[in-house]
């Protein structure tokens, strides 16, 4: 279920879980009326900072770094690989393509 964000006039923030499309415009929290904070709910947008990103989770052993680079190049997703064997993704789209080329998926990802 989605999480909805609310903020009061004094700046108190709270989050609530409602079924999709059933979130009210206001909720009460600690005796204050909080209005829905639409801008805080837009956190699913891919970040513009933090790229390029060296990914340890999808890395390989250092002696396999060359093989990983060649495989990603062969799959049409040229990717720099650190000497430690970690792929360096340029942006979220590049990361998604590279993971897909290797048969991997990030189930916690926003893309």
Read off the pLDDT of residues 34-57 as tens digits, 9 standing for 90 and up.
Answer: 999 988 777 655 556 778 999 999
pTM score above 0.75:
no
Give every strand in the sheet of 26-29, ordered side by side.
Answer: 13-17, 3-8, 32-36, 26-29
The pLDDT value recorded for residue 67 is 97
Establish whether the linkage from the previous residue to 52 is cis, with ω within 30° of 0: yes
Q: Could you tell me the residue ranges of all domains in the chain?
A: 3-41, 53-101
Count the Cβ atoms, other than its own, within 10 Å of residue 13. 12
The pLDDT tens digits of the residues spanning 59-92 come to 999 999 999 999 999 999 999 999 999 999 998 8
Q: Output the pLDDT for position 40.
A: 79
Q: Per-residue pLDDT averaged across 16-25, rounded?
A: 91
Give residue 97's pLDDT: 94
Q: Which pLDDT belongs to residue 44?
A: 57
């Amino acid at each position: 279920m989605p999480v909805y964000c609310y903020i009061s006039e004094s700046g108190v923030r709270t989050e609530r879980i409602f079924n999709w499309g059933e979130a009210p415009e206001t909720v009460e929290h600690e005796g204050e009326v909080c209005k829905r904070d639409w801008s805080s709910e837009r956190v699913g947008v891919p970040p513009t900072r933090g790229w390029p990103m060296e990914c340890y989770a999808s890395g390989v052993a250092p002696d396999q770094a060359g093989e990983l680079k060649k495989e990603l190049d062969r799959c049409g997703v040229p990717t720099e690989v650190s000497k430690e064997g970690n792929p360096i993704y340029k942006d979220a789209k590049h990361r998604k393509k590279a993971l897909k080329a290797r048969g991997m998926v990030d189930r916690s990802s926003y893309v």
